[in-house]
Amino acid sequence: MSDAPIVQMTGITKDFTGVRALDGVDFTLRRGEIHAVMGENGAGKSTLIKVLTGVHDPDAGRILLDGEPVRFHSPGQAQAGGISTVYQEVNLTDNLSVAENLLAGREPRLGPFINFRAMRRKAKALLDEIGIDLNVAAPLSSYSIAMQQLVAIARAIDIDAKVLILDEPTSSLDRDEVAVLMRVMRSLAERGTAMVFISHFLDQVYEICDRMTVLRNGTLIGEWAVSELPESELIGHMLGREVQTLGALEHRAARHRPDDDVLVSARGLGRKGSVSPFDLDIRPGEVVGLAGLLGSGRTETARLIAGADRADSGALEFRGERLRGHNPRTASARGIGFCPENRKTEGLVGDLTVAENMILAMQAARGWARTVPPARRDALVAEFIEKLDIRPADPDLPVKNLSGGNQQKVLLARWMLIEPRLLILDEPTRGIDVGAKADIQRLVNELSEDGMAVLFISAELEEVTRLSDRIAVLRDRELIDILHQESDMTTDRIVETIVEKGGDK
């Protein structure tokens, strides 16, 4: 590993209307190293990447690539200059096929014409390399967001670049895929590729990175070798306060004592091609976790219960009453709230403000004529901005201008506002920083203590085991077991269940 910097950014400042996202930040990336950029939600990590790769123009500062001053004006130019990037949130075009997404702009050609056969072959090989097997001719939209994330990574890796930037590439991946990604990253590092890695998973950062740069509120806190900075100090630097509370959830909170009467009960509920019929009971005051690998049908299960998709078999009962014509509106009227996994496309209305997005479900339930009184609305919004620590704490900002983690909190607030009986959370902690994640976990705990039922989905098994009273395990779009013994609440037990029961067939 040589010490010559390949990327050097100095004094980078970037203002958005009303917000200074970066304030005189320096950043140095050396050849062959894997460099973590750390910071809370909204610290400016993604903005730093976007300034480097020409998405945003910096308001001040210099960028040197290989010692030469550069200023890219579009990601295309950055790619040509040798910087390949996976941006936060999946940025692919899901109307095109997987193969086209992998190779768009670099399709194999015969003369001026694209050679589709060669393209599919190349795409297949590319995916094989990182260990995924998809139908490359299928439209990207038919795959889950996690798969799309892997495709985005495969695409970036294939652009044989000097610098590879990965902005939260692992946010929706399972441990197996993460392991694959780590392996690929190591082999790239050996070949001398410099990498920037952004993640809120500290263990991943400690496992793979050599150095880290910490940002807070758009300012540079410092740069350390990973080995020199213990985790607790890192968190201290990131959050700017001492951490006492984080450990609190390390052990599962005391089990809740759910009532005996069932709140929601699914009997043979299923949808062809999406999830096989399953039975599941959810009681007030309990947290039910959904665990399973990618594509095991976690999201689909949640969507059926939430009424987002229509079931074509079985029945859903709510407090003993059989639900007919279950849809998001009737669900919300009964107090079933659903935070979908893809907050950009299904969760938030980007143009509306933070306050409007928060109030949306409540207002929808009241109908258009009965406005939430402005005073009440402002009070509620202010309360939840504070409770969830949404930053910037400006209710009138368009929600699309918030950082990813803060957007997630806005979505959570939308449903907490209506005080639902059942809250369905599909990957609520995806892309959320350590502090906020602990906040959300604590919140889930509190809510269920207050008698709310929670259906909790997370790719992070630790999180599921830590929070859940019972865990429904899925495999191949089938609910294979429900773990409820205290002693079963371990990741190993879940993995065992998946392997064992899967072997039955």
Ligand X SMILES: Nc1ncnc2c1ncn2[C@@H]1O[C@H](COP(=O)(O)OP(=O)(O)OP(=O)(O)O)[C@@H](O)[C@H]1O
State the residues that interact with ligand X by CB under 6 A: 16, 19, 21, 39, 41-47, 88, 392, 401-405, 433
Based on CB atoms, which residue is closest to Mg ion, 169 or 258?
A: 169
Tokens 């790719």 -> residue: 459
Nearest distance from C-beta of residue 323 to another protein, angstroms: 14
Based on CB atoms, which residue is closest to ligand X, 1 or 349?
A: 349
Partner from ligand X, Mg ion, another protein, none contacting 117, C-beta within 5 to 8 A by type: none
Nearest distance from C-beta of residue 135 to another protein, angstroms: 6
* Angstrom distance (rounded) from CA 210 to CA 49: 18
Nearest distance from C-beta of residue 158 to another protein, angstroms: 12
Nearest distance from C-beta of residue 402 to another protein, angstroms: 14
Determine which helix (DSSP H) or strand (DSSP E) holds 359, and give its type and residue range.
helix 354-366
* Angstrom distance (rounded) from CA 168 to CA 41: 12
> Which one of 352, 389, 394, 501 is in contact with another protein (CB under 8 A)?
352
Nearest distance from C-beta of residue 143 to another protein, angstroms: 6
Based on CB atoms, which residue is closest to another protein, 84 or 441?
A: 84
Nearest distance from C-beta of residue 46 to Mg ion, angstroms: 3
> Which one of 177, 433, 439, 463 is in contact with another protein (CB under 8 A)?
177
Partner from another protein, ligand X, Mg ion, none contacting 196, C-beta within 5 to 8 A by type: none
Nearest distance from C-beta of residue 481 to another protein, angstroms: 21
Q: Decide: residue 59, CB within 10 A, 0-12 exposed, 13-18 middle, 19+ buried.
A: middle
Applying CB under 5 A, does 46 fall inside the site for Mg ion?
yes
Applying CB under 8 A, does 15 fall inside the site for another protein?
no
> Which one of 41, 46, 47, 144 is in contact with another protein (CB under 8 A)?
144
Beta bridge partners of 48: none
Based on CB atoms, which residue is closest to another protein, 105 or 244?
A: 105
| Residues binding Mg ion: number (CB under 5 A) | 2
- Residues 218-257 binding another protein (CB under 8 A) are none
Applying CB under 8 A, does 294 fall inside the site for another protein?
yes
Beta bridge partners of 166: 86, 197
Give Cβ neighbours of residue 438 (< 8 Å, ≥ 6 apart).
Answer: 245, 246, 248, 249
Q: Decide: residue 323, CB within 10 A, 0-12 exposed, 13-18 middle, 19+ buried.
A: middle
- Residues 46-105 binding another protein (CB under 8 A) are 55-57, 60, 62, 69, 71, 73-76, 78-80, 85, 87, 91-96, 100-101, 104-105
The radius of gyration of the chain's CA atoms, rounded to the nearest angstrom, is: 23
- The interface region with another protein, picked from 141-149, 249-257, 282-290, 487-495 by CB under 8 A, is 141-149
* Angstrom distance (rounded) from CA 483 to CA 493: 9
Applying CB under 5 A, does 357 fall inside the site for Mg ion?
no
Nearest distance from C-beta of residue 450 to another protein, angstroms: 22
* Angstrom distance (rounded) from CA 50 to CA 198: 13
Nearest distance from C-beta of residue 218 to ligand X, angstroms: 7
* Angstrom distance (rounded) from CA 193 to CA 191: 6
Q: Are 292 and 475 in contact (CB under 8 A)?
A: yes
> Which one of 117, 183, 241, 257 is in contact with another protein (CB under 8 A)?
183
Give Cβ neighbours of residue 284 (< 8 Å, ≥ 6 apart).
Answer: 258, 259, 261, 263, 421, 451, 452, 453
* Angstrom distance (rounded) from CA 313 to CA 292: 22
- Residues 459-478 binding another protein (CB under 8 A) are 477
Applying CB under 8 A, does 313 fall inside the site for another protein?
no
Grouping H, G, I as helix, E, B as strand and the rest as coil, residue 7 is strand
Partner from Mg ion, another protein, ligand X, none contacting 319, C-beta within 5 to 8 A by type: none
Partner from Mg ion, ligand X, another protein, none contacting 44, C-beta within 5 to 8 A by type: ligand X
Q: What is the 3-state secondary structure (H, E, C) of 373-420?
A: CHHHHHHHHHHHHHHCCCCCCCCCCEHHHCCHHHHHHHHHHHHHCCCC
Give Cβ neighbours of residue 108 (< 8 Å, ≥ 6 apart).
Answer: 114, 115, 118, 119, 122
Grouping H, G, I as helix, E, B as strand and the rest as coil, residue 431 is coil
Q: Which two tokens stand for residue 482?
A: 């429900």
Based on CB atoms, which residue is closest to another protein, 295 or 451?
A: 295
Based on CB atoms, which residue is closest to ligand X, 341 or 469?
A: 341
Grouping H, G, I as helix, E, B as strand and the rest as coil, residue 30 is strand
> Which one of 117, 257, 272, 322 is in contact with another protein (CB under 8 A)?
272
Based on CB atoms, which residue is closest to another protein, 48 or 331?
A: 331
Q: Is 183 left (phi over 0), alpha (psi -120 to 50) or beta?
A: alpha
> Which one of 1, 2, 125, 142 is in contact with another protein (CB under 8 A)?
142
Determine which helix (DSSP H) or strand (DSSP E) holds 76, and give its type and residue range.
helix 75-80
Nearest distance from C-beta of residue 61 to ligand X, angstroms: 15
- Residues 321-340 binding another protein (CB under 8 A) are 328-329, 331-333, 338, 340
Give contact residues for Mg ion (rule: CB under 5 A): 46, 88
